[in-house]
Amino acid sequence: MSVNNSGFNTKLIHGGGYKDKYGSVNVPIFQSSTFEFETAEEGARCFLGESEGYIYTRIGNPTINALERSVAELENGFGGIGTSSGMGAINTVYMALLSKGDHMISSDAVYGPSRVIIEEHYSRFGVDSTYVTTSDVENIKKAIKPNTKVLYIETPANPTIEITDLKACSEIAKENGLVLVVDNTFSSPYLQKPLDLGADVVVHSMTKFINGHADIVGGMVVAKTKEMYKKLRSMMIALGCNLDPHQSYLVIRGLKTLAVRMDRAQENAMIIAEYLEKHPKVEWVRYPGLKSHPQYELAKKQMDGPGALISFGLKGGFQSGKTLMNNVKISILAVSLGGVESLIEHPASMTHSKVSPADKAKAGISDGLVRYSVGIEDVKDLIWDLEQALEKVK
Ligand SMILES: *Cc1c(COP(=O)(O)O)cnc(C)c1O
């Protein structure tokens, strides 16, 4: 049996196929910016792509490449491209796939900067975009224009935990000649494999679940085909937003425990979601593992688990959100998500404070919305923490 047809957990530990003459059990950090050519002829072959030899770390590096192979294998893609951050991955994809006069369709609830860069910056180069509620795919069909090139989906979405049907999106994309790009940060390949559902490209903020320890910022692009991989890789090299060897080493280390971390975190999340749903000060809870989630059935079909992100609404609105933030003792008041520690955030006063009330309403971000990224602590302690903080909320 080879690593290729082994199970997900085995691939997490043995994937990437790194081997060296020293028999290193772990992938070493190749902290070198440049690599010596044995001869001028070998240098020439490297540049022509006829040799596997390394040239320069922005183009490729053994530590970075080991991680790229690993994540690509887990996503069932042709190849991975490591980037300096999740935004580096997203910019690589936008820059490679969108040209002057092109149009992109995306969800109205996506990671803020994924939208801001299109509307504020790519628009300067003539790229147009439309944001719709993609959990109803009819809205996507209505938004398609003759110049639409990219359909960019994040599911579950940020911070509303709304779910979009990826199979339906891939059918729409195929019928209309669009490239389907999916931000898979919230699920990780352990819980969702967009390429298997028909997507062409997956992007990740590895800062979140893939690394899982809140100690690096990094990103990854995975392409389904060789052609797409080559196009995206050359763009990353041109932009210079490569991952670095030391970061890659830490992510390789974090990635090994992705499944055990996710199992524990989502077990905790389910218990907390049920607790919150019964709490008198909580108006609503959005978690794909709850039957009350509007796309509960779709989540069960397209994901292998509901994940570790919960959003919930406080009856008391804005002030209650702030009071809760100021009173948690174990959960950490911080943005980001997907780490071993539980993080709590209040979008209306924090990440989305600059978004207009109209856009917030359209994206379903109410003043009392709280986003909770559940960690792997003892769940009884997390519930104790929420209980004592909610007691102080009006
Ligand atoms: C954090 C995040 C990003 C951006 O990633 P960085 O590593 O911070 O650049 C993109 N998409 C989603 C869903 C995220 O949560």
Domains of the chain: 7-255 (3.40.640.10), 258-390 (3.90.1150.10)
CA distance 200 to 191: 18
Ligand 1 nearest atom to the CA of residue 217, by list position: 7
Q: Tokens 């080879």 label which residue?
A: 2
Question: For residue 159, is pLDDT > 60?
Answer: yes
Please state the pTM of the whole predicted model: 0.96
What is the residue with the minimal CA distance to atom 5 of ligand 1?
86
CA atoms within 13 A on the CB side of 91: 20
pLDDT grade for 97, boundaries at 50, 70 and 90: very high
Q: Report whether residue 158 contacts ligand 1, using a CB cutoff of 6 Å.
A: yes
Ligand 1 nearest atom to the CA of residue 154, by list position: 13
Question: For residue 130, is pLDDT > 70?
Answer: yes
Read off the pLDDT of residues 131-150 as tens digits, 9 standing for 90 and up: 999 999 999 999 999 999 99
Retrieve residue 110's tokens. Answer: 């996506």
Read off the pLDDT of residues 210-250 as tens digits, 9 standing for 90 and up: 999 999 999 999 999 999 999 999 999 999 999 999 999 99
pLDDT given at position 362: 80
Ligand 1 nearest atom to the CA of residue 185, by list position: 13
Ligand 1 nearest atom to the CA of residue 336, by list position: 1
Q: Is 18 a catalytic residue?
A: no
Q: For the residues 86-111, what does the mean pLDDT come to?
A: 96
Q: For the residues 249-274, what does the mean pLDDT come to?
A: 98
Distance 156 CA to ligand 1 centre (A): 13
Read off the pLDDT of residues 337-365 as tens digits, 9 standing for 90 and up: 999 999 999 998 888 887 788 878 887 88
CA distance 83 to 89: 6
pLDDT given at position 200: 98
For 202, the enclosing helix (H) or strand (E) is strand 201-205
Nearest to 312 by CA among 234, 208, 239, 393: 393
Q: Is 208 a catalytic residue?
A: yes
Which residue among 185, 192, 335, 371 is best mutated to probe the pocket of ligand 1, counting the most ligand atoms within 8 A of its Cβ?
A: 185
The mean predicted confidence, pLDDT, of the chain is 95
Question: For residue 1, is pLDDT > 50?
Answer: no
Collapse the DSSP code of 248 into the 3-class scheme (helix H, G, I; strand E, B; otherwise coil) and give the result: helix
Distance 94 CA to ligand 1 centre (A): 15
Tell me, rounded to whole angstroms, the distance of Cα 51 from its chain centroid.
Answer: 33
CA distance 206 to 212: 8
Q: What percent of the chain has pLDDT over 70?
A: 99
Question: For residue 184, is pLDDT > 60?
Answer: yes
Q: Report whether residue 295 contacts ligand 1, using a CB cutoff of 6 Å.
A: no
Nearest to 393 by CA among 285, 283, 287, 308: 283
Q: Is 281 a catalytic residue?
A: no
Retrieve residue 61's tokens. Answer: 């590096």
Distance 110 CA to ligand 1 centre (A): 10
Q: Report whether residue 106 contacts ligand 1, using a CB cutoff of 6 Å.
A: no
CA distance 346 to 352: 9
